[in-house]
Amino acid sequence: MDTTYLSLEGKIALITGGSRGIGKAIALTFADAGADVVIASRKMPDLEKVAEEIKAMGRNTPCIPTHAKKIEDLENLVNQAMDTFGRIDVLVNNAATNPAMGPIVDTEESVYDHIIDTNLKGYFMMSKLVGRIMRDQKTGNIINVSSAGGVSPAEGLGPYCISKAGINMLTKQMALEMGPYNVRVNAIAPRIVKTDFSKALWTNEKLMEREFKFTPLKCVATPEEIAQTALYLASTATNYMTGHILVVNGGAFF
């Protein structure tokens, strides 16, 4: 069977939050599919570990320390990617934070601001910076890692869910604006993924017992499964898909 439609051979991908969890899995999956990958996150040692794995595949992998909340860092990231490769074919917005759990009425304003600035404004600025490049290229692909929490509420995760709902609308709005320039914009909305980021959820036995009552597949996702979904969106297999929020939730119905 010919599966070359899943190839990213010759493509340049930029991935934020690429040193661990979902971002790391996407970086490795894209490299395995043939892409050169620019990876960014806050800590250089973590990036270098991932880069070693990617370079072993024969791919070029610049590592650029970047704080998703700092606009000057994002500008530097995009500039360095362009200086190295001269174009960006795929942007994966993945860097995110969630430092608090609890009711909205008990959430400090500073915590809310931190979540929105990192998750939503960070995606907005990266989409803006890279979107201009893709508009000039007349081609490109933006993939936002959202959350099922952006589609339906989740107990104790109000500000996080709000930020992800914003990402979903950012996805749709960018798809509307960028479609005429042959730039596709889609999002992946996972439920619980087995990463360190969500460890407080999938290690909570009572929560998972309740979760699986409403989840037909009776398991949480792996980072690799989300990465393969990202590959699907990055590839020519989805050339006629844009503005879509692809919910990956094991069939959960609440």
Decide: 89 and 140 in contact? Cβ < 8 Å: yes
What average pLDDT is seen over the chain?
A: 94
The CA distance from 33 to 12, in Å, is 11
User: How far are the Cα atoms of 47, 103, 198, 207 from residue 27, in angstroms, in the given order?
Assistant: 11, 34, 19, 30
Q: Which residue, among 8, 21, 180, 181, has the nearest Cα to 96 in the 3D structure?
A: 21
Does residue 109 register a pLDDT over 90? Answer: yes
233, two tokens: 């969106």
Q: Catalytic amino acids?
A: 160
How high is the pLDDT of residue 212? 82
How high is the pLDDT of residue 254? 65
Each residue of 131-166: b (16+ CB within 10 Å) or e? bebbbeeeebbbbbbbbbbbbbebeebbbbbbbbbb
How high is the pLDDT of residue 39? 98
- 8-39, pLDDT tens digit by residue? 999 999 999 999 999 999 999 999 999 999 99
Neighbours of 22 (CB within 10 A): 29
Does residue 3 register a pLDDT over 80? Answer: no
Average pLDDT over residues 45-66: 95
Better-predicted residue by pLDDT, 145 or 252: 145
Those residues whose C-beta lies under 8 Å from the C-beta of residue 120, and which sit 6 or more positions away, are: 163, 166, 167, 170
- 184-239, pLDDT tens digit by residue? 999 999 988 888 777 777 687 887 788 888 888 988 889 999 999 999 999 999 99
Query: At 2, is the pLDDT very low, low, confident or very high (cuts 50, 70, 90)?
Result: low
In the chain, pLDDT over 90 holds for what percent of residues?
A: 81
How high is the pLDDT of residue 1? 47
